[in-house]
Structure 1
Amino acid sequence: MSLFNPSRDQARQFLMEAWRKRIEQLPATPLEIMAADVVQLHPEYHALLAGGEEALARDWTPDQGDTNPFLHLSLHLAIEEQLQIDQPPGIRAAYEQLLVRRDDPHEALHAILDCLAEAVWRSQRDHAPMDGLAYLEALKQAAGR
């Protein structure tokens, strides 16, 4: 598996394996622990992640009205990593402001997730690199609301 550009199935398998290790109380890498912590916040996805091949094969599309749980969890994981290293610079401060405003860590993370999802969507739509400055500006706006 490529660490920096995993395939869809590799990313899904990683999340499923991290969750399996948590459930079975097996040793895990720091990244797997972080992923399992993110999954722990989403009980609505626990059964899916234990589902095996069906979960790997399923597609979630916007026209179905369903959120892709693997995308959602992956964005959460990306945000956790961004917060750890304060990259983009200022994300940690925006999170702290959101935490004060929302009074719920998970809700604060979801506000950031909305900004990240928008930035990723724009990047894909425009076939361009993600605009880090626009992402940070969206974070600042969300934190100021």
Structure 2
Amino acid sequence: MFNPSRDQVRSFFIDTWRKYRSKEVLTPMETIAADILTLHPEYHAVVEDPESIDRDFPPEAGQVNPFLHLSLHLAIEEQLSIDQPPGIRAAFDAACSRRGERHDAVHDALECLGEMLFTAQRNGTPPDGAAYVRCLRKKAGVPG
């Protein structure tokens, strides 16, 4: 299992953005990350600053951690590509239909993923993929 450190994740996004802007060849994963980054111009200044590797983004200060947000986007793209947890792709497709914008549906999935991870962490239990899919189905207006 791949388990990168915080600095490795942040370096990945910073390096990917630099390579993308320099029109260098990107790996498939970097291509996905660059596509996600283009959807988030509000994070460009962060990924253009190598010093941001050490920066904290405390939620109690009302800040969103851009690296966490981008990482969750990447996780969702991977989940969709392999339909894991089972049913996530169908729930996501329904969310896309309901929302009309793919990026809005990704953000619905982000909320559900974050909720599922928070619950698992709080309860000391494994992540509940079925609850995650149910949450997204609910956001998409799909019964059951």
TM category, shorter = over 0.9
Aligned residue among 9, 12, 26 for 2:10: 12
The gaps in structure 2 that reach 5 residues or longer are: none
Q: What do residues 43-66 of structure 1 show as CA deviations (whole Å, max 9, x unaligned)? A: 00011100112x111111221111
User: Hey, what does 1:66 align to over in structure 2?
Assistant: 63
Letter paired with 1:122:
T
Shift of 1:126: 2.3
User: Hey, what does 2:48 align to over in structure 1?
Assistant: 50
Secondary structure of 1:26's aligned partner: coil
Shift of 1:94: 1.1
Shift of 1:133: 1.6
User: Hey, what does 2:116 align to over in structure 1?
Assistant: 119
Q: What do residues 20-71 of structure 1 show as CA deviations (whole Å, max 9, x unaligned)? A: 1111111111011111111111000011100112x11111122111111000
The runs of at least 4 consecutive aligned structure 1 residues that moved more than 3 Å come to none
Aligned pairs for 1:1-145 within 5 A: 4-53=2-51, 55-144=52-141
Count of equivalent residues: 142
Q: Under a length normalisation based on structure 1, what TM-score does the superposition of the two structures give?
A: 0.93
How far apart are the structure 2 equivalents of 1:23 and 1:118? 34
Secondary structure of 1:108's aligned partner: helix
How far apart are the structure 2 equivalents of 1:46 and 1:14? 14
Letter paired with 2:31:
I
Q: Does the Cα contact within 8 Å between 2:92 and 2:137 map onto a contact in 1?
A: no
The 10-residue stretch of structure 1 (119-128 or 23-32) with the greater mean CA deviation from structure 2: 119-128
What do you get for the CA RMSD once the two structures are aligned? 1.3
How far apart are the structure 1 equivalents of 2:132 and 2:140? 12
Secondary structure of 2:26's aligned partner: coil
The gaps in structure 1 that reach 5 residues or longer are: none
Letter paired with 2:130:
L
Q: Under a length normalisation based on structure 2, what TM-score does the superposition of the two structures give?
A: 0.93
